[in-house]
Amino acid sequence: MAETRRIRVEMLARVEGEGALEVDISDRKVQSVRLSIFEPPRLYEAFLRGRAAAEVPDITARICGICPVAYQMSSAHAIESAFGMEPGPEIRALRRLLYCGEYIESHALHMVMLHAPDFLGFEDGIAMAASHGDLVKRALAAKKAGNTLMCVVGGREIHPINVRLGGFYRLPTRAELSALQPDLARARDDAVGILRWASRFNFPDVERDWELVALRHPTEYPLNEGRIASTSGIDIAADEFDSVFEERHIAHSNALHSVVRARGAYLTGPLARYALNYERLPAHIQALAREAGLGPVCRNPYRSILVRAIETIYVCEEAMRLIATYNPPREAAVPLTPRAGVGAWATEAPRGLLWHRYELDAEGNIRTARIVPPTSQNQPAIEADLLDIATRRIDEPDDVLQLACEAAVRNHDPCISCATHFLKLTVNRR
């Protein structure tokens, strides 16, 4: 007898932005799974046309309130490469420091306030605070340390005002940065605490065979730069992105999906960065990863919380190192040298690879803009994940299946506001 069941979630919670999810089940078989992004289109790539290059980092920051630095960095680097501008090593170090602040803030929020409640059976981080108050407070303190770092280097934590093409408007003083060290040291210890706490969670035993895609850099754990690499052998510069990846427009979504032309779905984000750059982590952080049960590659999306903790430890230490070795450059920014050309660049946003490409005229105005955010790259992999979960747990009650699907999405820390160009859960059983 054909079974008809229907589950609907109007809006996926504890993710950034608006999306819905739909699972169609009939004859005891999952027919299809789809993640729809109903976040309304804001049309950035269209209204960037005709803007002056210098305006772009302020404008692209507004794509995402959670990871504005990622947008500022990918756009600034891409345009600088088109203009042949080369900010020196000191500017480079300061940008990496700012990016560390965004990782701390974003990962601390996701690990404890958005992700951990799924493992412990709470609706949210605030409800979790009643019985796990110490951990919630430690996460909030770590988050604050990241935000404070962003305020000092960037001017403010959401939509920083101090980033410009060529560098910064004002250089922080050594004293301003040194004052951050005690809180960063505590945030680092808090991240170790979160890692050990989360390592005792009951993780579903799944392994995904996705192709993992991330930047890889010859000497450092990648944030601002590197070649685009994958576990299946991709190794390209940012301007070769289109030769390997393809954006597709799917009917149920206001976002575009990205796939590897030759193979299909892939995953970007913490699991990919970690797998492709494990050897770039210092030995004592690799030891912490082993202690938490992680090998050099982690293919279990639920354990991404542990990888985020490892990355948080790393960026706290990296921020402290960058501050200790801070050498203010003579000028806060190198001069703007507009010329006609094309520039493409990718940086590692906390939730994954963020690729930008700009075509500019001789006066430095934007002719065309393309932005490929991490969540639209991850969407096909997330849907594959959902299909597997819905198939394996098809006999469970609707509310249990629904929570399992929601949690599977939250594993990936999707940023729907960014991807619009995502979630409500509907399970249709027929």
Q: Which stretch binds other proteins (CB under 8 A): 41-49, 180-188, 193-201, 202-210?
A: 41-49
| Closer by beta carbon to other proteins, 33 or else 366 | 366
| Residues 127-146 contacting other proteins, CB under 8 A | 127, 129, 136-137, 140-141, 143-144
Which of 75, 254, 377, 379 forms a contact with other proteins (CB under 8 A)? 254
For residues 267 and 355, give the distance between their C-alpha atoms in angstroms, rounded to a whole number.
14
According to DSSP, the residues that pair with 164 across neighbouring strands are: 167
Q: Which stretch binds other proteins (CB under 8 A): 16-24, 25-33, 92-100, 259-267?
A: 16-24
Mark 183-222 with x for binding to other proteins (rule: CB under 8 A) and - for no binding.
----------------------------------------
Q: Which residue in 344, 321, 333, 348 sits closest to 91, CA to CA?
A: 333
| Residues 98-117 contacting other proteins, CB under 8 A | 109, 113
Q: Which stretch binds other proteins (CB under 8 A): 48-56, 215-223, 317-325, 351-359?
A: 48-56
Smallest gap from Cβ 275 to other proteins, in A, equals 28
Helix (H, G, I), strand (E, B) or coil at 21: strand
User: What secondary structure letter does DSSP report for 331?
Assistant: S
**Bridging pattern class, strands 211-216 and 29-37:** unpaired
For residues 340 and 362, give the distance between their C-alpha atoms in angstroms, rounded to a whole number.
4
**Bridging pattern class, strands 211-216 and 266-267:** parallel
Smallest gap from Cβ 46 to other proteins, in A, equals 4
Which of 110, 188, 421, 429 forms a contact with other proteins (CB under 8 A)? 421
Which of 93, 120, 158, 394 forms a contact with other proteins (CB under 8 A)? 158
Smallest gap from Cβ 19 to other proteins, in A, equals 10
Element (H, E) at 91: helix 89-108
Count of CB atoms within 10 A of residue 223's CB? 26
Smallest gap from Cβ 36 to other proteins, in A, equals 11
| Residues 335-374 contacting other proteins, CB under 8 A | none
For residues 386 and 365, give the distance between their C-alpha atoms in angstroms, rounded to a whole number.
42
**Buried/exposed 388-404: b ≥16 CB within 10 Å, e otherwise:** ebbeeebeeeeeebbeb
Cα–Cα distances (Å) from 301 to 209, 307, 308, in that order, read 11, 10, 11
321 near other proteins (CB under 8 A): no
Length of the chain in terms of residues written: 430
Which of 3, 27, 86, 123 forms a contact with other proteins (CB under 8 A)? 123
Mark 232-251 with x for binding to other proteins (rule: CB under 8 A) and - for no binding.
---------------xxxxx
Which of 5, 24, 31, 45 forms a contact with other proteins (CB under 8 A)? 45
DSSP for 176-226 reads HHHTTHHHHHHHHHHHHHHHHHHTTS--------PEEEEEE-SSS--SS--
42 near other proteins (CB under 8 A): yes
| Residues 387-406 contacting other proteins, CB under 8 A | 406
Q: Which stretch binds other proteins (CB under 8 A): 35-43, 79-87, 260-268, 297-305?
A: 35-43
Cα–Cα distances (Å) from 392 to 13, 80, 389, 404, in that order, read 23, 49, 5, 11
Per CB under 8 A, residues contacting other proteins are 11-18, 39-47, 49, 51-52, 55, 58-59, 62-66, 68, 109, 113, 123-127, 129, 136-137, 140-141, 143-144, 147, 155-159, 161-162, 164, 169-170, 247-251, 253-254, 256, 332, 406, 417, 421
